[in-house]
Amino acid sequence: MPNSEANLEQLEVDFQARIDAEERIEPKDWMPEKYRKTVLRQMSQHAHSEVIGMQPEGNWITRAPSLHRKIVLLAKVQDEAGHGLYLYSAAETLGATREELVQLMHEGKAKYSSIFNYPTLTWADIGAIGWLVDGAAIVNQVALQRTSYGPYSRSMIRICKEESFHQRQGYEIMLKLANGSPEQKAMAQDALNRFWEPSLMMFGPTDADSPNSAQSMKWKIKRKSNDELRQAFVDQTIKQIEVLGLEMPSKDIKWNEERGHYDFGELNWDEFFAVIKGNGPCNRQRLAHHKKAHDEGAWVREAARAYEAKKKARAEKAA
Amino acid sequence: MSNMPLFEVFVRSKRGLDHTHCGSLHAENAEQALEYARDVYTRRSEGVSIWVVKASDVTASQESDRDSFYDPMDDKPYRHATHYVLPDEVNNM
Ligand SMILES: [Fe+2]
Ligand SMILES: [Fe+2]
């Protein structure tokens, strides 16, 4: 039976009422097409980010400075694979298949967080990533634990439980380096300087430049605006920089008595949009590597399938 | 590459507690699903027992039928303890 226009309007009113009452939306519920698309896009982007995010860190697994650092980094990267899985599963509840989602990323039609298009040049970058990149991700994900789409919210809760180890191990690496030899300290400072701005940009464009945010806030897909989250991250991070005894990564960082927050100056948004468009230092490399790993794993999936078919046939014959 | 079947994963976090749904994953068969579930959902000893169930084997009630499905239970307040008003002295019953 086709929905009459009045009927559709009523469905939309009921949908918004459910959201306003802080009820979660579950996969089988009626939802506006635009809501479905927005949540699906956000979850798939988030899933791709977890998976692509393994590459810059994976770059240092074989070169970690000690066996302890190596097993920690392995465990962290393995967690990120798990996060990817939780999020792909959540995305699949809206009817997309894993294969389609991956395909869209390979075709450049689905994005991942642009932070992962920066290279990890030194061991200190692994510290900076855990501390700043995971730190920024945590601020974002803590807010998303209350996102309106049930499966997304549940995967965020699960992920947040695992993230704080990521940030702490990163900060611990920075702490060691910052208190080490002058060369080590310089390395830590350099990593902080390079990852500072890109980390702040992880929250997305300024509120003035994100036209779709208002609707996402109304639907409670987003719970806090990009600028609010970014400010919260800056405020919590300044003290951590001081404890490391490193210099501030920007001259513009100042306490603003009036606002009760730290100012941090203008960010280079031209760079941000260039990286999103595919022109960051590592965009091509990241995608090519993902495709290669995916293709080279094809025989494993085929073998598993063939083995399963063979087992079934044998069982049928025996019966 | 065609899709591997989807499995729902239930984990019992501690002896004495129920298995609770904690997510899903794709695997070729149940044994593989169990191994993947161990790797993904119990990396920090979150469980002492795991169930995996093929998602296609789950029969679910329909949210849209909710009214007629659960309605009969809504008008039976006498099934709740609070329905019975007792004197204060014995009200901890
Ligand atoms: Fe993660
Ligand atoms: Fe992480």
Q: Does A158 touch chain B (CB under 8 A)?
A: yes
3-state helix, strand, coil in chain B (%, to 5): 40, 25, 40
In a domain, B78, yes or no: no
d(CA A297, CA A285): 18
Q: Do A158 and B23 touch (CB under 8 A)?
A: yes
B-interface mutation test, from A50, A93, A305, A310, most B Cβ less than 10 A away: A305
Question: How far does chain A reach from its first CA to its final CA, in angstroms?
Answer: 46
Q: Any idea what the CATH number is for the domain that residue B5 is in?
A: 3.10.20.520
Q: How much is the pLDDT for A3?
A: 55
- CB-based contact (8 Å) between B48 and chain A? no
| B1 band by pLDDT with thresholds 50, 70 and 90 | very low
Question: Mean pLDDT, to the nearest integer, of A111-136?
Answer: 97
Q: Between these two residues, A319 and A185, which has the higher pLDDT value?
A: A185
B23 domain-assigned: yes
Q: Is residue B1 part of a domain?
A: yes
The answer to whether A98 contacts B63, with C-beta atoms less than 8 Å apart, is: no
pLDDT at B72: 67
Q: Are A149 and A89 in contact (CB under 8 A)?
A: no
Q: Domain range holding B37? A: 1-57
Q: Which long-range CB contacts under 8 A does A28-34 form with residues at least 24 apart?
A: A28/B60, A28/B62, A28/B63, A28/B64, A29/B63, A34/A215
* CB contact (8 A) between residue A79 and residue B24: no
Q: pLDDT at residue B64 above 80?
A: no
> How far does the CA of residue A172 sit from the closest CA of chain B (Å)?
21
Give the pLDDT confidence score for residue A46 in this predicted structure: 97
The answer to whether position B92 is within a domain reads no
Burial of A43 (0-12, 13-18, 19+ CB in 10 A): buried
Does residue B16 lie in a domain region? yes
Distance, in angstroms, between A29 CA and closest chain B CA? 7
- The answer to whether position B81 is within a domain reads no
| Position B77 confidence tier, pLDDT thresholds 50, 70, 90 | confident
- Asked if B28 and A97 come within 8 Å (Cβ–Cβ), the reply is no
User: In the prediction, which pLDDT does B62 show?
Assistant: 77
- The closest ligand to the CA of A84 turns out to be 1
* Mean pLDDT for the stretch of residues A118-134: 98
CA distance A13 to A230: 32
Number of domains in chain B: 1
Instruction: Examine residue B77 and state whether it is found in any structural domain, yes or no.
Output: no
Assign A306 a pLDDT band (cuts: 50, 70, 90): very high
Q: How far is the CA of A232 from the centre of ligand 2 (A)?
A: 18
- A308 vs B: CB within 8 A: yes
A2 has pLDDT over 60: no
Locate tokens 């976090």: which residue? B13
A153-194 tens-digit pLDDT:
999 999 999 998 999 999 999 999 999 999 999 999 999 999
Contact predicate A148/A221, CB 8 Å:
yes
- Token pair 């695997």 is found at B27
Classify residue B66: in a domain, yes or no: no
Contact B28 A78 (CB under 8 A): no
Is residue A169 a contact partner of residue A72, using CB atoms and an 8 Å limit?
yes
Of A86, A158, A305, the CB nearest to B28: A305
Average pLDDT (B68-82) is 80
Whether the CB of A247 is below 8 Å from some CB of chain B: the reply is no
> Is the model's pLDDT at B17 over the cut of 70?
yes
Residue of A nearest to B29 (CA): A308
Over residues A102-108, the mean pLDDT reads 95
Give the mean pLDDT of chain A. 95
CB contacts, 8 Å: A78 with chain B: 43
Q: What is the percentage of chain A residues whose pLDDT exceeds 70?
A: 99
How far apart (Å, rounded) are the C-alpha atoms in residues A234 and A40? 29
How high is the pLDDT of residue B69? 73
Q: Which of A98-107, A176-185, A211-220, A239-248 has the lowest mean pLDDT?
A: A211-220
* Predicted model pTM: 0.92
Q: Torsion angle of alpha carbons B15, B17, B18, B21, nearest 10°?
A: -90
How many helical (H) and strand (E) elements, i.e. helices and strands, does chain B have?
2, 3
Say if residue A1's pLDDT is above 80: no
